[in-house]
Structure 1
Amino acid sequence: MAINRIIYVRKTDGREERFEARKVFRTCLRAGAKKEEAKKIVSEVIRRIYDGIPTREILKMVLKKLEGISPSIANIYNLKEAMISLGPSGFVFEEFMTQLLLDYDFKTKHHIFISGHCVKHEIDIIADERSGKKRVFMIECKYHNISGIYCGIKEALYTWARFEDCQNFFDAAWLITNTKFSEEVIRYAQCKNMRLLGWRHGEEACLENLIEEQKFYPITILRNLDESTRDKLFEKNIILCKDLIKYDFYSLSRLCGIKKDKAENLIKQANDILI
């Protein structure tokens, strides 16, 4: 997997960073590819990349190779894009996080109004620890529907200001995003002892690891899911692959107004991912 030249890739936001083959290798393994399969994919990517290649083009390359191994593995590799597609508003992401935290033994409520010291606030999620220190968290969810956007300092300042006005009700503040945090946010959170959960933030308790550990995959991970069908499923609060497989294709078709063959295909894909 060695590369004998320095290659820079262009990210969605226009920034360039050095290509790291090990990132592609690790993500292929996490998606379910075998070690030898992952090595072959990385070798093919190294052979075809060029200086300034968009990261989206690398993604397409890898997905095509994984699709040849297993469609379900290709779907799981696409988790980052799936989290970006939980839009267009932030409501679905908030519901997703509420359910994910429940799976990790938190008692959760969302969209609760709290009268702070100065003004009234709508809290995205209130999460009570059921074990450990049994703290009560005030959670602000920040959803981004464009890849490459960082959760910035404005969101961190806003979260902390809200927490300070409501701290009679909470033990700690927690900012959650579906993308990465800027370095400034990370420094601020460390200074204020504010909890962060986001993409590739932290070695173990980063968002993608929590999702993968519980196979808590959103339906947007299904690569042939079109926006119209996605929105129909969201309207019926079908957000997770786990939700999807509770239905047979006939009842799903009737509930959401989608064709039976499409419903059957989506259920099959979801089952394959969750095995």
Structure 2
Amino acid sequence: MDVEIIKHSGERTNFSIDKLKSSLRKSGAEEALVNEISNNVRDELYQGISTREIYNRAFALLKKEKKGYASKYKLKKAIYELGPTGFPFEKFIAALLFYSGYNVKTGQFLQGKCVLHEVDVVARKNDQIIVVECKFHSDEGRNCNVKIPLYIHSRYRDILNNYNVKNEVEKPTQGWVVTNTRFSKDALQYGKCAGLYLLSWDYPKDNGIKDRIDRLGLYPITASTLLSQREKQFLLSRDIVLCKQLINDDFYLDHLGISENRQARILEEIKILCKHN
């Protein structure tokens, strides 16, 4: 019998054990564990269960077996935990670009032809200069609609028009719009037509935020299953947005008053996360 489940958006669909298995495999779990957890979750389903409840059950079972797997499994939720202001998300995107070989600066002011613009991230690599605007949504299931790239494109054009007037060499070569959720169909169509580079959780295909995190081993500090919310917020306030950064600056754990035994377990977990797939 098909079991109807409810997504974050309110949409109803049938439960797919194959999709659940696929998400578990991406955590690095072995096939035997994937099958065991999937079967346990399936046996506890009921009509109208939410995807959040399915996720919570699978996460709890995975965490019980191995915290490193659970941390990877909760990656999408960890990105939402970078909120609510969106500023840590900007720092996180800047870090992704930095470890991809870019020279990055955040919170930059660029003069447009008409007005001055505050830009989230300016990144440079070779002859490429990209201007990045981040749109963070704290509500799961909320897509980034066409109004966002429309608005950002108008700001980007104003910046370009100022460089056209001055004829300066350091003219931006590309405008980016980055979101932690997904783009609507119209937003993707407009971005492609306008020449904007759009980056979301799963777009472009095989090169979205999730793919880049997995490929580079650049997991947000919020992916840890051992740090408390208060501890994560403390680290984010010190610009520690990546697990990789905490390995290099583990003295912050002393500042938090964390015992040596717990520090060792936290560092062990995030070192597993930081390993490239």
Q: Common fold, TM-score beyond 0.5?
A: yes
Whole-angstrom distance in 2 between the partners of 1:246 and 1:135: 29
Q: In the TM superposition, what is the alpha-carbon distance from 1:192 to its structure 2 partner?
A: 1.3
Residue identity matched to 1:259: I
Counterpart AA for 2:178: I
- Give the secondary-structure state (helix, strand or coil) at the position aligned to 1:202: coil
Map 1:1-275 → 2, pairs under 5 A: 5-130=1-126, 134-167=127-160, 168=163, 169-248=171-250, 251-254=251-254, 256-260=255-259, 262-275=262-275
Deviations 1:22-44 (A, max 9, x none): 22222211111112322232233
Compute the TM-score of the two structures, normalised by the length of structure 1.
0.89
Q: CA deviation digits over 1:113-150, x for unaligned, max 9?
A: 111011110111112233xxx43221110112222221
The answer to whether the 8 A contact 2:235-2:252 is kept is no
Contact 1:41 1:62 (C-alpha < 8 Å) held by counterparts: yes
**How much does 1:271 deviate?**
2.4
Is the partner of 1:180 in helix, strand or coil?
Answer: coil
Identify unmatched segments of 5+ residues in structure 1.
none
DSSP 3-state at the match of 2:63: helix
1:8 and 1:128 map into 2 onto residues whose CA distance is 48
Instruction: Report the Cα distance in structure 2 between the residues aligned to 1:82 and 1:55, rounded to whole angstroms.
Output: 16
Aligned to 1:173, what secondary structure does the other structure show? strand
How many residues matched?
A: 265
Deviations 1:185-221 (A, max 9, x none): 1121122121111112232101101001111011100
CA positional deviation for 1:153? 1.8
Shift of 1:13: 3.1
**Which letter does structure 2 place at the counterpart of 1:46?**
R
C-alpha RMSD of the superposition: 1.9
Taking structure 2 as the reference length, what is the TM-score of the superposition? 0.88
Shift in Å at residue 7 of structure 1?
A: 3.3
Q: Tell me, in whole angstroms, the C-alpha distance in 2 between the residues paired with 1:260 and 1:217.
A: 23
Q: How far is the alpha carbon of 1:17 from its aligned partner?
A: 3.3
- The range that moved more, 81-90 or 34-43, is 34-43
Change in Cα spacing, 1:247 to 1:120, as seen in structure 2 (3 Å) is closer
On the 8 A contact 1:94/1:125 being kept in 2, the answer is yes
- Give distance in 2, aligned partners of 1:166 and 1:9: 46
- Report if aligned partners of 1:252, 1:263 keep a CA contact under 8 Å in 2: no
Secondary structure of the residue aligned to 1:259 is coil
Q: How many Å apart are 1:247 and its aligned residue?
A: 4.1
Q: Which residue of 1 aligns with 2:168?
A: none
8 A Cα contact 1:229 1:258, kept in partner: no
Which whole-Å CA distance do the structure 1 matches of 2:225 and 2:90 have between them?
Answer: 22
Q: Which runs of 5+ in 2 are unaligned?
A: 164-170
Contact 1:84 1:144 in 2 (8 A): yes
Shift of residue 111 of structure 1?
A: 1.1
How many Å separate the matches in 1 of 2:158 and 2:14? 43
Return the alpha-carbon distance in structure 1 between the equivalents of residues 237 and 54 of structure 2: 33
Q: CA deviation at 1:176?
A: 0.5
Q: CA deviation at 1:263?
A: 4.0
How far residue 80 of structure 1 moved from its aligned partner, in angstroms, is 0.4
SS in 1 for 2:110: strand
